[in-house]
Amino acid sequence: MMAQRGLLTLLGTIFVSLIFFFPLTACAADDQNTTPWHTYNDGVHIYNFNISWVRANPDGMAERDVIGINGRWPIPTMEASIDERIIVNVQNHLEDESTTLHFHGLFLQNETHMDGPAQVTQCPIPPGGSFTYNFTVHQPGVYWYHSHVHAQYPDGLRGPLIITEPNAPFQELYNETKLITVSDWYHDRMPGLIKQFMSKGNPTGAEPVPNSALLGETQNLTVHVTPGTTYRIDMVNIGAFASQYIWFEGHNVSVIMIDGVYTHLTETNMIYLAAAQRCSFLITIKDDETSNFPFVASMDLDLFDQVPEDLNWNVTGWMVVDQKKSLPDPAILYEPFSPLDDTLLLPWDNQTLLAEPDHTVTLNVIMDNLGDGANYAFFNNITYVAPKVPTLYTALSAGDLATDPTVYGTNTHTFVLKKDEIVQIILNNIDPGKHPFHLHGHNFQVVWRSDDEAGTFEDSNITAADFAPIPMRRDTAVLHPNGNMVLRFKADNPGVWLFHCHIEWHVQSGLIATFVEAPKVLQEVIKIPEDHFATCEKGQIPIKGNAAGNSVDWLDLDGENAPPPRLPAGFTKSGIVALVFSCISGILGVATVSWYGFAESEEERQAQQGLGINEDNSLSPGDEVQQVSFGNSGLRGGEGNHAGALLRQAGGVIRG
Ligand X SMILES: *[C@@H]1O[C@H](CO)[C@@H](O)[C@H](O)[C@H]1NC(C)=O
Helix (H) or strand (E) holding 609: helix 602-609
Q: Is 93 in the site for ligand X (CB under 6 A)?
A: yes
Binding-site member from 92, 121, 199, 219 for ligand X (CB under 6 A): 219
Single out the segment in contact with Cu ion by CB under 5 A; choices: 67-75, 312-320, 338-346, 430-438: 430-438
Distance in Å from the first CA to the final CA of the chain: 81
Q: Pattern 46-75, binding to ligand X, x per CB under 6 A?
A: ----x-x------xx----------x----
Q: Pattern 457-496, binding to ligand X, x per CB under 6 A?
A: ---xx-----------------------------------
Q: Pattern 409-448, binding to ligand X, x per CB under 6 A?
A: -x--------------------------------------
Using CA atoms, how far apart are residues 315 and 180, in angstroms rounded to an integer?
Answer: 13
Q: Are strands 278-284 and 230-237 parallel, antiparallel or unpaired?
A: antiparallel
Binding-site member from 27, 525, 534, 654 for ligand X (CB under 6 A): 525
Q: How far is the CB of 132 from ligand X (least distance, A)?
A: 5
Single out the segment in contact with ligand X by CB under 6 A; choices: 226-234, 426-434, 580-588, 598-606: 226-234
Q: Is 236 in the site for Cu ion (CB under 5 A)?
A: no
Contact 480, 427 (CB under 8 A): no
Using CA atoms, how far apart are residues 20 and 18, in angstroms rounded to an integer?
Answer: 5
Q: How far is the CB of 330 from ligand X (least distance, A)?
A: 6
Q: Which is nearer to Cu ion, 240 or 503 (CB)?
A: 503
Residue 563: closest CA among 154, 198, 240: 198
Residue 601: closest CA among 625, 619, 583: 583
Single out the segment in contact with ligand X by CB under 6 A; choices: 203-211, 262-270, 361-369, 568-576: 262-270
| Residue 445 Rama label (left phi>0; alpha psi -120 to 50; beta) | beta
Q: How many CA atoms lie within 13 A of 112 on its CB side?
A: 31
Question: Which listed option, ligand X, Cu ion, none, makes contact with residue 226 (CB within 5 to 8 Å by class)?
Answer: ligand X
Using CA atoms, how far apart are residues 316 and 221, in angstroms rounded to an integer?
Answer: 7
Q: Which is nearer to ligand X, 48 or 585 (CB)?
A: 48
Q: How far is the CB of 249 from ligand X (least distance, A)?
A: 10
Using CA atoms, how far apart are residues 434 and 286, in angstroms rounded to an integer?
Answer: 37
Q: Is 130 in the site for ligand X (CB under 6 A)?
A: no
Q: How far is the CB of 500 from Cu ion (least distance, A)?
A: 8
Residue 598: closest CA among 359, 245, 306: 306
Sheet with 212-215, edge to edge strand ranges: 212-215, 176-185, 230-237, 278-284, 253-258, 261-268
Question: Which listed option, Cu ion, ligand X, none, makes contact with residue 410 (CB within 5 to 8 Å by class)?
Answer: ligand X
Contact 520, 402 (CB under 8 A): yes
Binding-site member from 435, 438, 440, 474 for Cu ion (CB under 5 A): 435
What is residue 114's DSSP assignment?
G
97: CB partners within 8 A, 6+ apart: 127, 150, 152, 191
Helix axes 573-588, 602-609, angle to 10 degrees: 140
Q: How far is the CB of 410 from ligand X (least distance, A)?
A: 5
Residue number with the smallest Cβ distance to ligand X: 60
Question: Which listed option, Cu ion, ligand X, none, makes contact with residue 525 (CB within 5 to 8 Å by class)?
Answer: ligand X
Q: Is 132 in the site for ligand X (CB under 6 A)?
A: yes
Residues that bind ligand X in the complex, under the rule CB under 6 A: 50, 52, 59-60, 71, 87, 93, 109-110, 132, 134, 175, 218-220, 226, 228-229, 252, 267-269, 298, 312-314, 332-334, 349-350, 381-382, 410, 460-461, 525
Residues that bind Cu ion in the complex, under the rule CB under 5 A: 435, 501, 503, 506
